[in-house]
Structure 1
Amino acid sequence: MMKKNVSFHALIFTLVFVVFPTLAIYGQATARQEIKVDSKVLDAYVGQYELTPEFILTFTREGDKFYTQATGQPKIEVFAESETKFFLKVVDAQLTFVKNNDGRVTHVILLQGGREQYAKRKEPEQLPIFPGVQFKKTEVMIPTRDGMKLHTVIFAPEKITEPLPFLMTRTPYGVDWMNSGALNQIHSELVSDGYIFVFQDIRGRYKSEGTFVMNRPLRENRTDPKAIDETTDTYDTIEWLLKNMPNNNGRAGIFGVSYPGWTSVMGIIDPHPAMKAASPQAAMGDTWMGDDFFHNGAFRLTYGFEYVYSMESAKDGNDFRHDRYDTYDWYLKLGPLSNANDKYFHGKLPTWENFIAHPTWDRYWQSKALDKIVTKVTVPTLNVAGWWDQEDFYGAVKTYLALEQYDTQNLNYLVSGPWNHGGWGGRGDKLGRITFDSDTGKYFRAKLQAPFFAYHLKGKGSLKLAEATTFETGSNEWKSYEAWPPKQNYTTRNLYFHNDGRLAFDAPTKDGEAEHDSYVSDPKHPVPYRPRPVQATYSQGSTWNIWLTQDQRFVHNRPDVLSWETDALNEDITVSGQIIADMFASTSGTDSDWVVKLIDVYPDEWPQDRSMGGYQLMVANEILRGRYRKSFEKPEPVKPNEINEYKCDLRWADHTFKKGHRMMVQVQSTWFPLYDRNPQSYVENIFKAKESDYIAATQRVFRSKQFPSHLILPIKNK
């Protein structure tokens, strides 16, 4: 979704096409109401606007259509939602023209990913023509084995000097928007190497025939020649391409971000013999265990509600319209999850119905989990993850680990960088307020992704990929590992909770149940997961794309959030690998959620940027629903006030806590409306809970010799 810097001046256009493949190819842009405006209104805005002397936006009118073009980039059509506000359809970006008191247009405001930038109007000049590769576009309906046809757009270079491989993306988000200019911008490194690009609407989406099934499971009878799934649709597509598209070299690759990352993995389970390389990026690995819809049994309310509505209320996407700006209030007003059907969905969304029918990690979810269905590795695979991916970090790494079990030929690789969801498509030098000192996105695309595909699909160059290549945040350096998580050169250490909010590597020595910290968790007043107002996930101005890097001080003084903190570190500490919270706690209720965050606290004085003094950056975080403390398949209530051990996997990190920084742990029991509220009184199915089931509960976190709550950290040796 969003990401960028260079001061943000290339934002809307270098970002429009490079940072935002997740909104264009891979995701959903905010739906807006397009209106027609008089040509005289458009003429008033025609001209050039300067972000920097090197980066100019030019606006032109052609008939009743309005366009913008950035320095050295292709023209993009702009659409009106009022006489002063305009938007782009390929990404979630808005432009507002501003006039002075005399009615003269003085500048345009660019709003994208929650960030604004002003471009001052200047005298018009002709921009250079974009010099990219020209493609011939072919639009076809490719038949599949059960007779359905899949809408496919193919881009072959107009000048082909040698047979080229196919490089395909299969997406539920529509492909009609793609053109030569966008292709050159989004995949410039791959375009320069030479491929025939294939973009396909998956079954039941946009112009493709058939019925859409969210994360369609593998066909049960894999010997039935008419049985279909995403694997067979990929196979049939490649078969058709090889036979019908000229000038191909007989090889195909597949890649994509998010849902297209998931379809990429599905395409290599029973692969076509011509499938020679795959790069699943931010793949939805297990949407119950750790990706889009649930984390450890806790329902991801905003994303589950809004995404499912968008995907299943219309074949070509349809955003849900909230009647208030702050969705924290909106979801609180919604009340229990059972109200969603009564008020809005009325049983018409299949995935929502499956949420209700399958609240536990049963066979329904396991049949869709990639780590449960991949059983071999025959196609070289480059898995890509982002440390601050707000949607599918778990799935990306888990898919790599699942494939690794069967990788006997060293065909499986992992790259993880300082990115949000799909952020490697942009510069990758900044995420929110956090900077990384280099263009990490360009490094990935040019040094890792492009050589990977060139080697396997074109037989060119030499491949020098490490088993795992990660960007170590904090130190801001790329690292190579022989395995992930690393198996050498690290020591496991426990970081313990102590009294007075102290966090330390020495274990508690005091004993007794009095050694605890407590708070009251009230479902009527849940802890917000990002600063309010909490805009709808993909709405204009939403900080969804950067929230995982937002300063956590906004909740630090809440009475229902506990914090423990180390002294200022006297040396760098690097955490590389899997982080586990091992916590002893009790609740006065019969169910409870436990949210744990590992935070890097910047020094109060930060000379590099004074505004970053005291900043609290999340490095790892996760939630565990108490009913699943023993089994994700067989939940059970919690005995009131009984001390239980809760082990919560905070997933993975590669981060250096710098000398002078502090390490912090926060614990809370609500994270709203990212996650639904736990009633805190046990009900068999929270999707059927009543308002009366929601109660306040007293939570206690213990830190004694007998009950030593702590984090288990893999710390890199010096």
Structure 2
Amino acid sequence: MIENEMLVCRNMSVPMSDGVALAADLYLERKPGTKGFEARPVVLVRTPYNKAYVSTRFDFRPFIDGGYAVVFQDVRGTSASGGTLEPMMNESRDGADTIAWLIAQPWCNGQVGTTGPSYMGGVQLQLAVRPVPGHETAFIQVPAGNMFGGSMVYDNDMLALETCAPWTMMMAASLLDRFPAETAAAIRNDIEANNLPLPVMLAGDQLSELVRPHDLRSLPVARHVPFWHAWLDNRENPDFFAAAEANSKFGDVTRPLMHFSGWYDLFLRNSLEAYVEISAKGATPAARSGQRLIIGPWGHRADPGFRQFPDSEVNDAAASAAWMNLHLRGKAHPLFDHPVILYVMGENRWRAESAWPCPGAVRTVYYLHSNGGANGAQGDGTLSITVPATDEPADHYLFDPANPLKSLGGHGVTGGPVDQQPNEHRKDLLIYATEPLDEDVEVTGQVRATLYAASSATDTDWFVKLIDVFPDGRSYNILTGSARGRYRKSRTAPVELVPGEVVAYEIDMWSTSNVFKKGHRIRVEIASSDFPNADLNPNRFMDLSTATAADYVIAEQTIFHDSARPSSIELPIIPLDRSRKWIDTPFPANPGGHYYGKLEDTEWAFQAQEMEASQLRVP
């Protein structure tokens, strides 16, 4: 509870350059006995999730206590703001227009910092890649955006079904008053007919059961949303998503930024790429030297069913306030002397690094091996640094889209580290594992896989997982990468597979930091589905958005691992004798505290005196 007097001015009208007005709530503290307001720095949070709701779950006490004004704004087309929601498409311009308005207010001293996770992080990244007077810095948490491949809509080749479909349905349910009456009634009918708990996001079995009877075009609730169809229409068209893309503009960044993410977060790659590219190519020395990176062992949401890591909870509100104090108040903090801070899983502690990728990593290739029977946990697949023999037999399995491999964890919006054992009896899962390790092996950096594969189908998918297998049999997912056959030559110009043709797929497995402990095994798993994390491939070269069970084809899949076609995984291994700078938990959360993934489930109470905009005057 904030004890000092705090005031709130609700639904201030903020004009955009195209004439649309966005609504914002202002929170600020007034010293006892005074009538006016001193000019001060402003912390801005822009959200599609109703600013009044978010304000009760976003602990902004550290900002108020630090003498900042805090502004929550409904993005275009949501809650009290005007216009139409086109996810991420207007955020760069709208953010810049909002800051231009803020720095003109008498209670703002001309300095604005931004903060917030997920969509609220994505709007910051888009803002940061353009010159915006008054925008001094940003604390960018797990930024959504880069929708063509950055996991909000498409995860490289795949539709990120577990993320974008529930998000579309959730937004539709929360914005019913924005739709024409007939459309709103149809959405309500879909919600009732399918017994959907909207506006809560669906996940797991509930999402699978909803999706399976439908093609993507006719998915309940989503089928009534224009941007859902626009996303499906533009599977192979990056130009459509260009307004939401920041990756090509990192060389224009002029200011210091904090990049805050999690190893299992669906937007991890956005954070890593931004940190690396701006550090190397930023437009100013302040930008190049001022990037910072913090990565914990988190998914996008907290879940007690995930593998839990000790000493991992960070108070992101305190971290964000300290970052603002550094750049808006000139108050140094020793943790920001470290360019990179990582949680090393397995070792289960935090480490400071001078850069990312971490210096000293030795890229080491592990090859797949078997006698042709790597199917399931009882198969004969092995993994080692030994190059395969000339005549090593291939592995085979049948993939039936009607019986897909169930998603267990991963890096979707509800992803995280989950024991994979429930899937490992299946014969359509190939498993390759090392012998129990005779010493610790630390893998920190980007992992890549090379898969030599053939299919009887004209299109199909490949999923590769890196797994940490414990001596007691528990097997936790570390990373997942994927490739879609039709895009083997080009994402923008798909071509059908030639049945039986061997294709070499280079697969981005994302990045991690994990110590495979002595006695553990390093395991690679290969399948052709990960549902509902990704959309199902019918094993047919057709419009994937209209595919139904009637279109499914059972595919005969082959994975090669001989000397001419050595399927493998490349691991960035940190040598045991390399020096390591271990540190205490950065900004540790108090017992029962939070990191960003828990904000949706945490509500804090505060009292604020309501005031009108006319009362906002300086002494």
- TM-score range (shorter-chain normalised) is 0.7 to 0.9
Conserved? CA contact 2:63–2:70, under 8 Å: no
What corresponds to 1:370 in structure 2? Answer: 246
Q: Which amino acid aligns with 2:136?
A: K
How much does 1:698 deviate? Answer: 0.8
Q: Which amino acid aligns with 2:105?
A: N
Structure 1 distance, partners of 2:250, 2:47, is: 20
Q: Which amino acid aligns with 2:443?
A: V
Structure 2 distance, partners of 1:704, 1:285, is: 40
Q: Which runs of 5+ in 2 are unaligned?
A: 178-186, 197-204, 371-379, 577-619
Conserved? CA contact 2:128–2:138, under 8 Å: yes
What corresponds to 1:57 in structure 2? Answer: none
Instruction: Pick which of 369-378 and 648-657 moved more.
Output: 369-378
What corresponds to 1:290 in structure 2? Answer: 150
Conserved? CA contact 1:296–1:628, under 8 Å: no
- CA offsets per residue over residues 92-135 of structure 1, 9 Å max, x none? xxxxxxxxxxxxxxxxxxxxxxxxxxxxxxxxxxxxxx455542
TM-score, structure 1 length as denominator?
0.70
Q: Tell me, yes or no, if structure 1 residue 395 matches structure 2 residue 253.
A: no
Conserved? CA contact 1:549–1:617, under 8 Å: yes
What corresponds to 1:598 in structure 2? Answer: 466
Q: For residues 285-324 of structure 1, what are the structure 2 equivalents within 5 Å?
A: 285-312=145-172, 315=175, 321=191, 322-323=194-195
Q: 1:471 aligns with which of 343, 347, 355?
A: 343
Residues 461 and 468 from structure 1, CA distance in 2 versus in 1: closer, same or farther, beyond 3 angstroms? closer
Residues 527 and 403 from structure 1, CA distance in 2 versus in 1: closer, same or farther, beyond 3 angstroms? same
What corresponds to 2:296 in structure 1? Answer: 417
Structure 1 distance, partners of 2:124, 2:4, is: 26
How much does 1:152 deviate? Answer: 0.3
Q: How many residues align?
A: 537
What corresponds to 1:639 in structure 2? Answer: 498
What corresponds to 2:399 in structure 1? Answer: 521
How much does 1:436 deviate? Answer: 2.4
Conserved? CA contact 1:291–1:393, under 8 Å: no
Structure 1 distance, partners of 2:395, 2:402, is: 22
Question: Secondary structure of the residue that 1:197 maps to in structure 2?
Answer: strand
- CA offsets per residue over residues 379-427 of structure 1, 9 Å max, x none? 21111111111x322322233334334225212222111112166xxxx
Q: Which runs of 5+ in 1 are unaligned?
A: 1-129, 217-228, 424-429, 532-536, 538-542, 605-613
Q: For residues 212-227 of structure 1, what are the structure 2 equivalents within 5 Å?
A: 212-216=85-89
Structure 2 distance, partners of 1:370, 1:360, is: 18
Q: Tell me, yes or no, if structure 1 residue 505 matches structure 2 residue 385.
A: yes
Structure 1 distance, partners of 2:527, 2:23, is: 47
Conserved? CA contact 1:291–1:392, under 8 Å: yes
Structure 2 distance, partners of 1:357, 1:150, is: 29
Instruction: Pick which of 275-284 and 360-369 moved more.
Output: 360-369
Residues 545 and 289 from structure 1, CA distance in 2 versus in 1: closer, same or farther, beyond 3 angstroms? closer
TM-score, structure 2 length as denominator?
0.81
Structure 1 distance, partners of 2:524, 2:295, is: 23
Q: 1:693 aligns with which of 548, 551, 566?
A: 551
Structure 2 distance, partners of 1:640, 1:544, is: 31
Residues 329 and 135 from structure 1, CA distance in 2 versus in 1: closer, same or farther, beyond 3 angstroms? same
Q: Tell me, yes or no, if structure 1 residue 485 matches structure 2 residue 357.
A: yes
Structure 1 distance, partners of 2:64, 2:176, is: 28
Q: Which amino acid aligns with 1:629?
A: R
Residues 182 and 313 from structure 1, CA distance in 2 versus in 1: closer, same or farther, beyond 3 angstroms? closer
What corresponds to 1:49 in structure 2? Answer: none
Structure 2 distance, partners of 1:372, 1:618, is: 31
Conserved? CA contact 1:297–1:361, under 8 Å: no
Q: 2:69 aligns with which of 185, 196, 200?
A: 196
Structure 1 distance, partners of 2:441, 2:455, is: 34
Conserved? CA contact 2:402–2:549, under 8 Å: no
Q: Tell me, yes or no, if structure 1 residue 627 matches structure 2 residue 486.
A: yes
Q: Tell me, yes or no, if structure 1 residue 138 matches structure 2 residue 9.
A: yes
What corresponds to 1:267 in structure 2? Answer: 127
Structure 1 distance, partners of 2:20, 2:241, is: 26
Question: Secondary structure of the residue that 2:272 maps to in structure 1?
Answer: helix
Q: Which amino acid aligns with 1:349?
A: V
Q: Tell me, yes or no, if structure 1 residue 458 matches structure 2 residue 338.
A: no
Structure 2 distance, partners of 1:172, 1:178, is: 9
Q: Which amino acid aligns with 1:395?
A: N
Q: Which amino acid aligns with 1:601?
A: V
How much does 1:550 deviate? Answer: 1.3
Conserved? CA contact 1:257–1:280, under 8 Å: yes
